[in-house]
Amino acid sequence: MRNPEVRPLGRKIVAAILGTTLAALALSFLLNIIPMIHSYRQEAAGKARVLAGLMAASLAASVDFDDQAAAAENLATLSLNPTVAGGAVYLADGTLFAAWGRPPARPETVPFEAATLSGLTTAASIPAGRRGCAVVLSVSLSGQWAFLESYLFSGGVVFLGVFLFSFRLAGRFRRRLGDPLGELTRVVGDISVSRDYSRRVDYESDDELGVLVAEFNSMLRRVEDRDARLDRHREELEQTVEERTLQLKLNQLELLKNNRQLQMEIKRRAQAEMIREEVERINRHDLKSGLSLVIGYPELLLRQGGLNPEQEKQIRRIRAAGYRMLDMIRNHLDMFKMEKNVYALNRASVDLVQVLCDLEEEFAPLLGSSGVRLAIRLDGTDVVGDEEFTVSGEGPLLRTMCRNLIQNGIEASGPGDEVVVVLKSGERMRLSVSNPAAVPAEIRERFFEKYVTAGKENGTGLGTYFAALIARTHGADISMRTSEEAGTRLTIVFRAGKTACPPRHGGRREIVDV
């Protein structure tokens, strides 16, 4: 069916020819009129300069003899030039000496020339004995509008003539090109309605339209042959569909059977997972209950006092081991929450110097057995224990983070090596842990990933992973640099906060949001 919204191509051809011709003609008129108006204004400006020079020469005597009447008579001769709207003679101090018509204002400098859309002002010095005198003329450019009107009228006549000629020429092109295309469109519409692909377009020509019609008829023949082949294959396809449908039903029955088995397996695994979680919860509760005694009794003994330094040292190690075991029990669930981004931080002020000193005491047995030294420095000075380096965060988590990083450095070092922990204050507070051993090349790119470890007999690959997870949960940045020459340095950069506490015992105390 023919689309009623289709517009004949012949009309578009006529519109294209007329539009192109008239646009080119209008552009030529515009390009001609601009330089003509410019020439007119330049010629008027030149005449105004000459006229101003002549008037300046004729007014020299009147100015020298202070004869205002003679100067006015000289200016009155400007009425012979219809384009001059006014003139004035000004003395050096700006006083109006003589005027005619609409006297223009005296310009700042002489000679002077300024043009507007409809007027021109020019000034020239008077060659008189009295220096600084000037004659100023105001010239009207209204004649350019009459010139423009005449040019537009003649252009309109030419425009109309070209339009009529182009319209007749476009009509001939429309009939030569549009009529064959219209016939082709009608045949295509009839074929689309009746689906009769045996129809042909009866038109022959040696131009592009002839080639188009010939290819269209050839396409109809190919479509007619295709329909015949499709009819033959349709019966074969119907038989194949019946066979495939039967097979599909059998497959669906098998799939339903498998789905029922899968649902039963999922239900069994869900029950097993629920039981496992319940057992883990009970185990964590039981372990925490037992650890309360391991942690509580050392605290009680330390508060009661009466212990010698060696006994107090051993009691503190027992307490540290209890807290470490408690952290390990908590960390299992905390790690899962951090991975899911659902962990809620319990922020408080945490003194990292105290944390590191407690860890130094905790690692004393490991340091002694491995022959590794541990150094803690604050702003380049060794820590003695009375300094403070306070950040805002969750104490147990920050303690676990520091423990994992230090333990990683100790385990990677050999006898005689030194693990250095550096605290650096400033706008961005930093914590770095360095050791002389380089990270193996095969894990450098994946150092902070889960279960990544190398060269450790009992390594799990969770220490640095959990430390990085804690740092990022607190909003800090953690990075690693390693080389065979410089060893390995792990750096945590804390986000600067807005509050700071005064120094204590010579140390620097600052609160930052981690």
Residue 369 binned pLDDT confidence (cut-offs 50, 70, 90): confident
Q: Is the pLDDT of residue 52 over 70?
A: yes
User: How big is the chain by its Cα radius of gyration, in Å?
Assistant: 51
Q: Which of 151-155, 167-171, 250-254, 345-349 is predicted least confidently?
A: 167-171
Tens digit of each residue's pLDDT (9 = 90 or more) over 311-368: 777 777 777 777 767 666 666 667 777 877 878 888 899 999 999 988 888 888 888 8
Looking at residue 278, what is its pLDDT? 66
Contact 58/75 with Cβ under 8 angstroms?
no
Q: Which of 82-86, 228-232, 510-514 is predicted least confidently?
A: 510-514
**For the domain bounded by 9-166, which CATH number is listed?**
3.30.450
Tokens of 491: 């750096």
Phi, psi at 104, each rounded to 5°:
-75, 160
From CA 282, how far away is CA 136, in angstroms rounded?
108
Work out the mean pLDDT of the chain and round it to a whole number.
Answer: 80
From CA 68, how far away is CA 55, in angstroms rounded?
14
Looking at residue 474, what is its pLDDT? 87
Residue 281 binned pLDDT confidence (cut-offs 50, 70, 90): low
More confident residue, 80 or 205: 80
If you average pLDDT over residues 450-474, what whole number do you get? 78
Q: Is the pLDDT of residue 194 over 90?
A: no
Characterize 91-105 residue by residue with b for buried, 16 or more Cβ atoms within 10 angstroms of its Cβ, and e for exposed: beeeeebbbbbebbe
Q: Is the pLDDT of residue 507 over 60?
A: no
More confident residue, 375 or 305: 375
If you average pLDDT over residues 303-312, what whole number do you get? 79
DSSP letters for 383-437: --S----EEEE-HHHHHHHHHHHHHHHHHH--TT-EEEEEEE-SSS-EEEEEESS
Q: Is the pLDDT of residue 387 over 70?
A: yes
Looking at residue 421, what is its pLDDT? 94
Portion of the chain with pLDDT greater than 70, in percent? 83
DSSP element (H, E) containing 490: strand 487-493
Looking at residue 423, what is its pLDDT? 93
Highest mean pLDDT among 139-153, 169-183, 402-416: 402-416
Residues 6+ apart with CB under 8 A from 280: 332
What region, left, alpha or beta, does residue 409 occupy, with left being phi > 0 and alpha being psi -120 to 50 degrees?
Answer: alpha
Q: Which of 113-122, 137-146, 206-215, 245-254 is predicted least confidently?
A: 206-215
What region, left, alpha or beta, does residue 77 occupy, with left being phi > 0 and alpha being psi -120 to 50 degrees?
Answer: alpha
Looking at residue 510, what is its pLDDT? 35
From CA 171, how far away is CA 425, in angstroms rounded?
88
Residue 495 binned pLDDT confidence (cut-offs 50, 70, 90): confident
Tens digit of each residue's pLDDT (9 = 90 or more) over 57-70: 888 888 888 888 88
Looking at residue 463, what is its pLDDT? 80
Looking at residue 339, what is its pLDDT? 77
Looking at residue 488, what is its pLDDT? 92
If you average pLDDT over residues 196-221, what whole number do you get? 73
Nearest to 328 by CA among 399, 418, 417: 399
From CA 303, how far away is CA 296, in angstroms rounded?
11
Tokens of 13: 């051809």
pTM: 0.41
More confident residue, 176 or 54: 54
Nearest to 398 by CA among 450, 449, 473: 473
From CA 132, how far away is CA 454, in angstroms rounded?
98
Looking at residue 227, what is its pLDDT? 79
Q: Where in the chain is the domain with CATH 3.30.565.10?
A: 345-494
Looking at residue 493, what is its pLDDT? 92
Q: Where in the chain is the domain with CATH 3.30.450?
A: 9-166
How crowded is the C-beta side of 21, counted as CA atoms within 13 Å?
A: 19
DSSP element (H, E) containing 87: strand 84-90
Q: Is the pLDDT of residue 200 over 50?
A: yes
Looking at residue 5, what is its pLDDT? 58
Cis ω for the linkage preceding 396 (within 30 of 0)? no
Nearest to 98 by CA among 131, 117, 70, 140: 70
Using DSSP's 3-state secondary structure scheme, residue 131 falls into coil
Highest mean pLDDT among 48-52, 446-450, 487-491: 487-491
The CATH T-level fold of domain 345-494 is: Heat Shock Protein 90 (3.30.565)
DSSP letters for 38-60: HHHHHHHHHHHHHHHHHHHHHTH
Looking at residue 153, what is its pLDDT? 81
Nearest to 33 by CA among 151, 120, 128: 151
If you average pLDDT over residues 453-479, what whole number do you get? 80
**140 burial type by CB count under 10 A (0-12 exposed, 13-18 middle, 19+ buried):** middle
Residue 279 binned pLDDT confidence (cut-offs 50, 70, 90): low
Looking at residue 513, what is its pLDDT? 37
Looking at residue 501, what is its pLDDT? 39
Q: Is the pLDDT of residue 509 over 70?
A: no
Tokens 């969770």 belong to which residue? 462
Instruction: Give the CA distances from residue 6 to residues 12, 13, 198, in Å, rounded to whole numbers and listed in that order.
Output: 11, 14, 25
Phi, psi at 178, each rounded to 5°:
-75, -35
